[in-house]
Structures are given as structure tokens and as C-alpha cells.
A and B are shown apart, each in its own frame.
Chain A
């Protein structure tokens, strides 16, 4: 079954075409990566698929429901970890999880057990009763992923899951993402602009450029297609499809947001 299906998905902000006729199908159980430079339309795409933004035109189905007309049904089926920090620093890790267990209709009898399980699974048991503002960046990300998994969603959306993390913390988060798919069969849709992240995690990737899909395939397929026999990395693939102007992506607002997140996590 196709767990995510979009047809000619388009989103306009005034003059700007953030997403331009994106058509995409994703199978259940994939780890799918959406790559692209800043401003390519990755976050807009994820916001449409998670019902945060209505598309201007075109269609998107998630877990069999239309994101525009059946938004409430879609929301029950998905988990979402925004790019920005979404855990509440003034509460403990346990409280952060408990609140979302209730917002996601986890039955009362099961809540305590699910929250404990999530804490154990993400290796946060020991800090469960500490305020989240004292957590490290990697711990915050793991808590956020735990929050978004409490209701066992069919699809998990991760927007730049390892932004601002150091390499060790990044690797732990990767391991947890891979485990989630193995244990629960969750489909994972993530955006990133780290090529090694995509290479490591994703079964298939799409490269977006200026709101359109520039390439689609497994990391290996893309490398073969671009390399023509030569040994290339996913970085080369990325540059091949998005143009090699070094510094064209990201405006002031994007950059200041990214840096702010990085500072909080670091």
C-alpha cells in the first residue's frame, strides 16, 4: 500500500512557488529522505503532509486520508517532530510525554506504561524527572521523537532531525530512527541537508530544487546515475541536481532560525 501519495502538489506564498507540482509515492515501511538546499521547499512539503498548511492546488493522501479534507483523520495516523525545538523546557521529560499521551488519546490505563516504555526505549529513564531545559541537545531530540511515537503512528515526519547536533549525538538519533522502523514498521519521512545522513538512513531519497523534484531513487541508484562509472558521493549527486552555485540558499530568517536551534541544542 502507498502510505503517502501526492499528485501535482503545489503551494504558493504570494509570488513564490514554494512547492511546484510535486508528485511522489512512498511505500509503507520506507525511510524516505527529502533533500535539498535551504529554501528548496522541504519544510513546506512536510507542513502540507502534516496538515499544518493547506496546499494551493494538487492532492496529498497520507495513510489513505486526504490532508485537506480529512485532516483530523490524518492527524491520528502521524507523528511529527518539527525542525524547531518543540519539547517544553520548563517541564520534565515525563510531563512532556504525559501531556502528549493525553492529547493523542492514549487510553488512560495504558498511558503510564507507554510513557515509561518510551523513556526506556529512548534511554531517558534516568533524566525523566529533570526539567528538559537541563537536557543535552541529543536528549531533547530523543525526547521529541519519543513524544511523537507515543500513539504508535503509521508515519513519522522528522524535519531536520539532527540539525545542530554533534556527530556522536547524531549517530544515536540515527540508531533510534532505524530501530523504530524495525520494531514498529513505522514509515519515516525525513528532511535533511546532510548527505551522509541520507546515505546512512534512507532507502530512497528525493532531491528538491526550487520547489520541484530534481531526482528520485535509492542513494546508490542516484550515485550510479550521476557517476557514470566513477566513484561519487551523495554530495556530488546533490550538487549535480541543485546546481553548484555555492551560496544561493537560505535567507536571513532561515539562517537565524537554524542558528537559534543549533544554539539551544548545543
Chain B
């Protein structure tokens, strides 16, 4: 009995502290939302320019979906990925100030700090997702507004952000300086984006790239989004399986992050 009570208290304290950090991010965004708007430019360009052109080319087999519809979930996932993969730079920034030191000296479990950061990235991801949805609506993409599907989309976006931001945090803890981190971030985003099902189906890839794509978490995120966001959207896997893959990888990364985070200082 006593054991369970203390276990319950620990879990409560852990989740409470995790949420504090996510709330912190929300407050920051509320104080200064301009950053969100500048981030909206890139997905808008992808949909407007790339999407419009490739809709005319009709070179990519998308089932019975217009190409613009097909790529919208991919662009949503991509723009969330870009934010998350550079999230680690904020950890380097916080290290150059003394913020990380103060978090680490507080009686907060390391895993709660890392998971809190991951959820913060999720908050940013959601804000970004909303913007992409608005742009897609304006371009006449046939979106599905079923409430349950929307919740599923939100969950996929939060999980995707958490996964890639924690990956980014681990890299930041290894490289430790902004310059090296920026270089690495650039190197990583390209293969993550192009070796996935974001803007073309995996079936048209050469077989070696198909293998890579199946190892790429972004593929599973897009698979969920494509099934839930679109009217008539289809996917490769069960949504439950996709979510399971993303959640499992996120948990593993958070555990690694919890070990790496104190080493950033």
C-alpha cells in the first residue's frame, strides 16, 4: 500500500514537472508569437510552388487523390520535422546562458526534463500544424474534419515533434556548439525528408531507398496523417501500429536523452 502511494506520488510529481516545462513553452509563444508566422513561409511555398507544379505533371502515382492533397500531410510532417530537428539548438543556447544548470540542480528527474522539452516541441509542432492546415484549406485541399481524426492528427504531430526534438537534443548534447549543430542539422533534414513517403509513395523508390524509408520514423508519422487528414486518404499500416512505432522510438530516445542531458554543460 505504502509502496503504491509513493509510486503514485512519484508518477504525479514526474508528470507535473514535465507539464511545467511544456507550459513554459506555451507562455513563451504567447509572449512572442511572431516566430510562428515566419515559420509558416516555408510550408506555404512548398504547397504553393512545388505542389501546384507537380499536380500538373501527374508523374507520381497517388491513387485517386489529387497530388496537392497527397503531399499536404507530407508537408505538414516536414514542417514539424524542421522545427523539431533544430530544437536542440535551444538547449545549446540555454547552456550558454545558465538555464540548463539551474534546471539540472533542481530536484527534477532528468527524464522529466527531457520529456518536458519534447512536449514543448510538441506545442510548437501543433501551432505549426494549425498554420499548414489553414494554408491547405485556402488551396482547396479536401481535408477531413472528423473530431476523432483531428485528435489523431494532433497526437501524431505531438509524437513526431517529441521524437525528432529529442533526437535533436541528443545531438546537441554531443556536439555542444551552435556551429557544429547547425551543420549537422542541415545534413540530417534532407535524408529524413526525402527518404520518406512525404512527397511520393515509397513504392516508386529503388529498393535500397525503400529499406531506408521504412527505418525512417517520418514515414510512420506521414502514414498516420495521410489516413486521418484527408477525405479518402489511405495508408500502408494500421494507425495503431504507426503510433506504436513512434511512441516506442520516442521513449527510447527520451531515456537516452536523460543520460545525455546532464553532459551538455
Contacts and interface: CB of A to CB of B under 8 A. Distances in A.
Interface of A: 47, 50-53, 72, 75-76, 78, 80-86, 88, 90-92, 95, 99-100, 102-105, 131, 147-148, 260
B197 to A, nearest CB: 36
A107 B82 CA distance: 38
Given A83-B98, A88-B99, A75 B105 contact: yes
Contacts of A72: 107
A84 B101 contact: yes
B107 A52 contact: no
Given A52-B265, A82-B101, 6 more contacts: A52-B262, A83-B98, A85-B97, A90-B28, A91-B31, A95-B27
5 contacts: A80-B105, A85-B98, A91-B31, A104-B106, A105-B107
Contacts of A99: 20, 24
A51 B31 CA distance: 33
B20 A103 contact: yes
Interface string B36-60: 0000000000000000000000000
Contacts of B28: 88, 90-91
B101 A52 contact: yes
Interface string B94-127: 0011110111111110000000000000000000
B16 A78 contact: no
B32 interface: yes
A80 B101 contact: yes
Nearest to A79: B105
Given A83-B98, A85-B98, A103 B103 contact: yes
A148 B106 CA distance: 9
Contacts of A76: 107
Contacts of B107: 72, 75-76, 103-105
Interface of B: 13, 16-17, 20, 24, 27-28, 31-32, 96-99, 101-108, 262, 265
A78 B182 CA distance: 36
Contacts of A47: 265
Contacts of A92: 31
Contacts of B98: 82-86
A75 B106 contact: yes
B115 to A, nearest CB: 14
Nearest to A86: B98
A93 to B, nearest CB: 13
A105 B16 CA distance: 10
Contact of A103 (B32, B96, B101, B106): B106
A82 B102 CA distance: 7
A32 to B, nearest CB: 18
A249 B27 CA distance: 41
Contacts of B105: 50-52, 75, 78, 80
Contacts of B17: 102-103
Contacts of A82: 98, 101-102
A53 B96 CA distance: 17
A78 B107 CA distance: 10
Contacts of A102: 16-17, 20
A86 B95 CA distance: 9
| Pairs A-B, 10 closest by C-beta atoms | A82-B98, A86-B98, A84-B98, A75-B107, A80-B105, A82-B101, A86-B102, A103-B106, A102-B20, A76-B107
B97 A103 contact: no
A233 B75 CA distance: 68
Nearest to B116: A103
B97 A84 contact: yes
Contacts of B102: 80-82, 86, 100, 147-148
A95 B262 CA distance: 24
A147 B102 CA distance: 10
Nearest to A257: B96
A249 B262 CA distance: 27
A131 B28 CA distance: 10
Nearest to B113: A103
A72 B108 CA distance: 8
Nearest to A89: B97
A131 B262 CA distance: 28
A92 B27 CA distance: 10
Nearest to B16: A102
